A and B are shown apart, each in its own frame.
Chain A
Amino acid sequence: GAGVSQSPSNKVTEKGKDVELRCDPISGHTALYWYRQSLGQGLEFLIYFQGNSAPDKSGLPSDRFSAERTGGSVSTLTIQRTQQEDSAVYLCASSLPGQTYTFGSGTRLTVV
């Protein structure tokens, strides 16, 4: 597609459940990024994929968070045993190396 697509747009889950968030980047973009934005805050880096290199996981806040990128395209961010502090908007972006980022519309996660 023409832009970065994220699904679902909204997700409400019960505390303790697992959730999967999906990101479909711009075709041909080798770099893919996940960020998290809590209410009224800036963007917090989570994880970065570049081509076939090992992902940079340095921003993942705990081992409940993981992500994969299959075939160098679609990425899934998984949060296990969700907690209320995981509530946030999860944003995905893609780019060519060193170039401008294009962001998706985000997934608003609410843990109740």
Chain B
Amino acid sequence: GIQVEQSPPDLILQEGANSTLRCNFSDSVNNLQWFHQNPWGQLINLFYIPSGTKQNGRLSATTVATERYSLLYISSSQTTDSGVYFCAVNSGNTPLVFGKGTRLSVIA
């Protein structure tokens, strides 16, 4: 099955700093999503981005499907950005396969 690798596994940022999270995947996909899991465990969809670039406020994402990677950019980080960021992919009509996540801590 598809393998998903995320890096870095852990990241500590000073409030206001920028960061880039990476997701590599092992096969062609037709669906890629980024999720944020807050410290209370709720998973929120950030982007549905099988290819191209999208932006939503301080967050943006780029997926280069031909090279099998996606990047999530967080600018001017805030303490509320803390949590775990998951990348998930699938192909065809199969369930999403999740990476192990990047745990982000933003300190004031």
B96 at the interface (CB under 8 A from A): yes
Distance of B83 from chain A, by nearest CB (Å): 13
| Known A42-B99, A50-B93; contact A100-B48, beta-carbon cutoff 8 A | yes
Interface string of A39-59 (1 = CB under 8 A from B): 001110100101000001001
Give Cα A55–Cα B92 distance, bound, in whole angstroms: 15
* Size of interface on B: residues with Cβ below 8 Å to A: 21
B97 at the interface (CB under 8 A from A): yes
A33 at the interface (CB under 8 A from B): yes
Interface string of B31-58 (1 = CB under 8 A from A): 1010100000111110010000000000
B68 at the interface (CB under 8 A from A): no
> Is A103 touching B101 in the complex (CB atoms < 8 A)?
no
Distance of B107 from chain A, by nearest CB (Å): 20
> Is B93 touching A43 in the complex (CB atoms < 8 A)?
no
> Can you name the residue of chain B whose Cβ is closest to the Cβ of A47?
B95
Interface string of B93-106 (1 = CB under 8 A from A): 11111111100000
- Residue with the highest number of chain A CB atoms closer than 10 Å, among B35, B42, B95, B97: B95
By a CB distance below 8 angstroms, the chain A residues around B94 are 48, 56
| Known A105-B41, A105-B42; contact A41-B100, beta-carbon cutoff 8 A | yes
Distance of B67 from chain A, by nearest CB (Å): 22
Give Cα A103–Cα B45 distance, bound, in whole angstroms: 8
Complex interface residues of chain B between 2 and 39 (CB less than 8 A to chain A): 30-31, 33, 35
By a CB distance below 8 angstroms, the chain B residues around A62 are none
> Is A33 touching B95 in the complex (CB atoms < 8 A)?
yes
Give Cα A105–Cα B48 distance, bound, in whole angstroms: 20
Chosen A-B contacts, 15 in total, with CB atoms closer than 8 Å, are A33-B95, A35-B98, A42-B86, A42-B101, A43-B98, A56-B94, A59-B95, A89-B41, A93-B43, A97-B93, A100-B45, A100-B48, A101-B33, A102-B45, A103-B35
Q: Which 9 A-B pairs have the closest CB atoms?
A: A103-B43, A43-B98, A42-B100, A48-B95, A100-B48, A100-B45, A42-B98, A45-B95, A33-B95
